[in-house]
Structure formats: structure tokens, C-alpha cells
Structure 1
Amino acid sequence: MSEQPLISGRGTCWKDKRSPNTYRYYFSLGVKDPKTGRYKRSPTYTVRCKTKTEAKAAMQAKLAEINSSGTITKTKKPTLLASYCWAFHENRDTELAPTSYEREAYDCRHIEDLFGAFQTIEGLTPDLIEETYAEARRTGKYKPSELVRINAKLRQILSNAVAKRIIDRNPCATVHVRRPRNKRESLTIEQVATLCTHLQHIELTAEAVGTLVLVYTGMRKGEMLGLEWRDWDPANKTLKIDRQYTNDHELRAPKSQESQRKIPVGETLAERLQSWSAIQKELLASLGLSQTGSTPIISDIAVEQGVPTVCHMKNYIFNHWFRDFAVSCNLGIYEPNNSTGGKLYKGICPHQLRHCVSTFMLANGSDVRSVQGILGHADPNITLKTYTSLVQQSEIKAVKGYEDFINAYIQRSEK
């Protein structure tokens, strides 16, 4: 703080044309600067409100505060949201995978586009954030799914600002954007057959084996990427799941206790796993490495200081391969992305293979408990709610069967 003369004037207030619902004001101190000959004035203050009347009320409150304390607090320069977003992003280039880093750059552009280049972090309020999202929804500028991502990234960035004591509270903490309920769609049996046929005619690689595991077991992608050879029991033909490989490149426990399970494997997948084990063993030997129980089944080779090491395949590497493979099977396409100048993939995704397993198992008469165990759902209700249409079809079939049974008995009795 620095001692300055008390304020005698009412001050000057104006609307900031660059930021919505923003007013700025300052006070004249009534004395001239001996060096410049101009009247001294207070620092410029910023207030977030909708009308000038509210801004003037804030001015009077500030004036009373200054006159009662006898001092003027020189406020620090406000932090621009857009600049802080980009600084936050640039500091994470070594933390994120290339695809995630690129995606975060899009989020920063969207935040800057929504709130403007001159919006300050200190000026953000929950109401302003919600109003901005509402306007984006009304104009169709961003899809609901995009607003979910933008809000999550904004909350993360503002949490960082709280940690650095730029602001006291995160204004985004109480703002919730409803995630759109996407319809869970399974592939058709024809699409699955196309996928498997193409997999039989390409070179057996880690990515191809990973896709086969998803097709035949329905496990989650992170669970598949976390598999190691000690999890494969060729004698009993089972795969044990007790870990998952996450997007931050760490091995962690599965989603729930029920997700730790053993999945039976059919002859087709068992044969492919055995073939891949031999291929991988030969590949590692050529690099001076050995295959052990802790060697990832879905593996990749990393080179550190000129020394090759075997590691779990990263999520984005598998995704890139899967998209290219789906396009080669005519199950996906790449379209120009006008907003980024790159290409946009539209087609099947790995998680749909999980829905295939459950859909076809339930459709072929498997009981819900068995499907729950294979998928690793914590509660059978999750299985029931996720695949409601199939359960309803089963219920309709059961009611019709019971009705036919009664009618058949009545017809026999009448004869």
C-alpha cells in the first residue's frame, strides 16, 4: 500500500466496450503532479455488473472504503484469461501426449473465442460463464459436447490460477454443463465380420492383437493396453484383468473391484495370442530384449538414450492405428476439418466393440449376470440400463412365450 491524498471528487465511470457486462472507473485526487502538471488520479478499478447504476453503487462503496481507511490500495494489473490459458498450455508440452497437447490447444482457442481476448480472470463470475455458454448454445456456435470439454478445461485452468493465488475461488467450480446423452450403438454383425475378416489378412501386430482382444472379450481399451503375459493362462484359456493403462501413461487399478476379473477366451483368440507371443518374442530378441511375464502383450518399443526398451502401447498410438484400419475396412472416413485445417475422423471406435460383445451375448440368450461378469460392471443394473432395448426385447419375447403357452393349453383343453 502507498499513502495518497483522500478523494474529494465523485469519479469517472464508463462501460468497457471490449468485455460484456464490464464497467471501469477511477477517482481524481484533486492535486497536480509536479512533474507532469496533470491532476493525479487513483488506479482504474473494474466492476462486473449489467447496468451503470450498479457500477456507480460499486464506486460509492469503494469511495467510502478509501475515505475511511485514508489510503488507496494500488491494485495489481489484472490477468488476461486468454494469455493465461496459452501460458498454462505451453507449460504442459512435456506432460501430455502429442494428440492430447494438440487437443488442449483447440480448447484454449475455444475459450479465447468465447470470452474474448480482453476478458480478465479476476472478472469471471459463475453467472458470466453460464451466460456465455447459454449464448453459445443459443447461436449454435458450439455443440453441447464441445461445451463440456471447454468447461472442463476452463475449470482446470482456473484451479491453477487459484493455486497461484491470482484469484481466491474458482468461479467455474459451480458451473456444470450437462453432458449430452449419446446413444450407445453396437456394430452390426456384418460390420464385425468385416473387421475380423480384414484382421485375418493383415500382418499380426500389437495393434491387431489388441483389436482382436476387444472384439472377442469386450474389455475396456485401458484394460487391454494394460495386459501382460502373466495375465494370459493358455492352459485354461483365460485373461486376468487387475490393472489398466491410463491416458497419463500409468498402470492403475481398474474402475471397480468387479472390474478385476478373469475372462474366458475362445479358440480363435487363444490361437492368435499364442501366435503373437512367438512373433513378439522373436522381435524382442532381435533388439536384445527378452519376453517375460511382465512384458506387455500390446507392446511398443521406446528408445531412451539409444537403448531400446519394451513398454505398454500408449492410447493415442493405438487410436491412430485403429482409425486408419477402420478406414481401410470402409468402416470409417477422414473428412477435412475446416476449423483446424487437419482431418476429422468419422467412423467406428474401439469402445463400440465392447457394446458388440454385450449386445450379441444378450441377443443370443446369455443371462445378465454372466454378461455383467465378462464386462466387469459393478452392478447388474448398469448392464440392464446400458442395454435397455435388448432387455425390453427379451421381456417382450418372454411375455409372448408365456401367452402362447397359455393359449396352447386352452386349445388342448377345448378339444
Structure 2
Amino acid sequence: MFAITKLECKKIFTKNNVLIACLFLLICLAKMLPYGQSLDMVLDEENFGSGLSYWTLLKKEGIKYDGFLTKSQMKKVRSLYRQSKEKDFVEGARSEEKDLGLKLIYPFQWLAESLNFPSSNGIQDFSIQMSDQEIESFYQDRLKAVKAWIHRSDHPYSQAQVQSILHQARQVKRPFYYAYNEGWRYMRDFLHMTFYLFLIYLVLALSALTSSDDEQGFTEMDLHTKKGRFGLYLAKLRAGEIFASLAYLAYLGFLLVYHWMIYSLHGANASIEFYSSPAIFNLTTCQGFFLEALSGYFASLVMVNIILFVSMFFHKTRVSLVLLTLILIWLNKWAASPQPWANTLAFFTPQNFVRYNFSLSKLLVLKGHVFPYTLTAFFLSLAYISISRIFAMPFMNHYYLKGGKGK
């Protein structure tokens, strides 16, 4: 079947799909540019600066806070904050930032968010007002805050699961290592923001592969293949998965290069707490991004199976293309909805596999061991792929063209 898979790959790798890929990347670029083209920073007590060059300045200022988050380091960070030019604006003493049209970004803001987590209980706060007592009890208070967060979670954990999660939280290596990692955080956000567009690209590229109204799809000669109809379907699936894998690598490469050029990828070794807070795993920032990207790859393989099944079911390329595109757009619209049913739906939909993989609301607890959502995404992917292939078997065995019945 390798020869058939190779032939099916040639059907997919066409000039049209390359042009659509370029259009997809341009759309992604258009969504990202408004965030990366300009940065508002405080230069001194009276003046502001804005532009691409200030991302370099932000990094220069941000790395001053790099280091293991020991008690002495927290006191140093507090002292740096009190001396910083941005302090008055963070605390709302001035209003000039409103005239800029963009919210000011501060070198220490994500560190401040994590430092304030035990006391703010999840409320975003970019000031650093920790008392000496709060610094002394930071890690103990953080465990209490994690427990409170779990109890507020939409996920109904059992008491035994809660104890397992708290045990896992106690195993996290301390002190945390903080490093300025703005580039990684933006790359994560834009992966969340544009991933559904990547899946729509796969729909555009693969919808014709198992239809009966396109030269990429089935023909009468195809349906009489020696290895059987379902074998042909699997060959098309393999070709689609190869294409999706290469396209996904190119997509991730684009994100990496873009964010390296504008924000830098400094801080890859920062604790995951400063990439996705609060987190309870011994991971670094780059490992966290890798796991979210891996979840996206699982979702891509699932999407290939869904696209080919829907296209085979309806026979028509345009029907499957329009239907799947509208569903992806609708699901993306509801992904951030506060409605409980929308949150539940998002938990199971492949396009949301890349979102909040380390959230305390999406943990998987198995026999006392706690895993991030990536493992759930893997199990869901296996289930979705298996189900789609099981359902495809009887449909494929009775597939016909132009009103005739297949043998």
C-alpha cells in the first residue's frame, strides 16, 4: 500500500494547497502583527516610548528579575519594583497610559502575577506589595491557594483526587526559577489564537481526498483496487496524516521564527509556573510549550480522520468543506464562553487540545498520579481516530459513484 499512499500524497501536494498555505500564514501574520508591531513602555517619569525596538528594551529590563525565587530574591524583586519608573502606572497613580491606545507592558508583570497568586487568589495584579511575612510564607501560602483554586474549579474532583493533586503540588521543586519569557507566552497565546485557522486549512486541503466530485477523490478504478476499498481509504488517511504532520511542523516553525525575531525566546528554562500559572508540575517553559504543541499534533491527526470521514459520507467536497469550516468557527467562538456547557464542550473538542494544558481545571488523575491535559488529549485522540475508522469501514465497503451501488 506504500505505492498508493505515495500516489495519494502527490494528489495533496499541489500548487493550490501551497497557495492556500501561504494565505493561511498571511492571515496568521495579520492576527499577530497588532500585538507585536508596537510596545508601550515608560522611559522616564514623563515620557513613553513605542515601537518594535522597545521589545529589546523590555527584554533588557526584564532579565534583571531572572533568578531562583528564594526569599532573598523576592525581597530584591520587591526593591527593584519600588525603584522602577513603571511603579506609579501599575498602581494607577497616573492616567497617561490611557492616551496611548495600548496597555502598558511591564518587565516584571508575569512575575508579579505569580507572586500575588497566594494573596490575590487568582485576581490579576501586576504590583508587588508583598510584606516580609508574605515572602517568608510564600510557598506554604501558595499550596493553600492551589487548594482553594481546585475547590472553585469547574471540574468535579473527588476528595481522593484533590488529595492527589495537593500531593503533586507539594512535589514541585522549590524555589521556582524565574526568567523573562515573554516570547514563549506570546507564542502560546498565538498558538491558541490561530490553531483553529490551521485546522480550517487542513479542511481546505483535504476535503476532496475522499469525495466523488473531484480528481483527488475516488474514481471507479480506485474502488476496484486489489487491496480492497477500506485499504484504499487507509492509504488516503496515511497520506493525509503525512501532509498534516509536515504542515503542522511548518506552522510551528513559523511561530517560532516570528516570536524569536520580535520578542526573543529568552526564558526557555523558566519554571512552568511563569508560563501557565498556577501549575503543579516540574516542567520548564519550553517543555510546557512542547506539550501544548504535541497536543495540537494529536488534534491535527484527529482532524484528518474527521475530514476524510465527513467527505466520504457526503461525497461532495463543498458540502464537507463548508460544514466543517462552520463548525470550527462556531466552536472557536464558544471556546471562551463562561457557560458551563461551553466549557464542557471545549474540553472534548480537538481544536481546544492546545488550550490551558496545565490548568488545575483540566488535570487527569489516574491511580493517585496527576497528569496535565496533554495525556487526556492523547487518549481522546486515540478514541476519536478509532471511532472514525470503525464507522468508516461499513461506509467505505458500500461506497458508490454516480448513483450506482458498490460491490
Identify the TM-score tier after normalising by the shorter chain.
Answer: under 0.3
TM-score, normalised via structure 2 length: 0.24
Structure 1 or 2: more strand by fraction = 1
TM-score, normalised via structure 1 length: 0.24
- Which has the bigger relative contact order, CA under 8 A and spacing at least 6? 2
Structure with higher Rg: it is 1
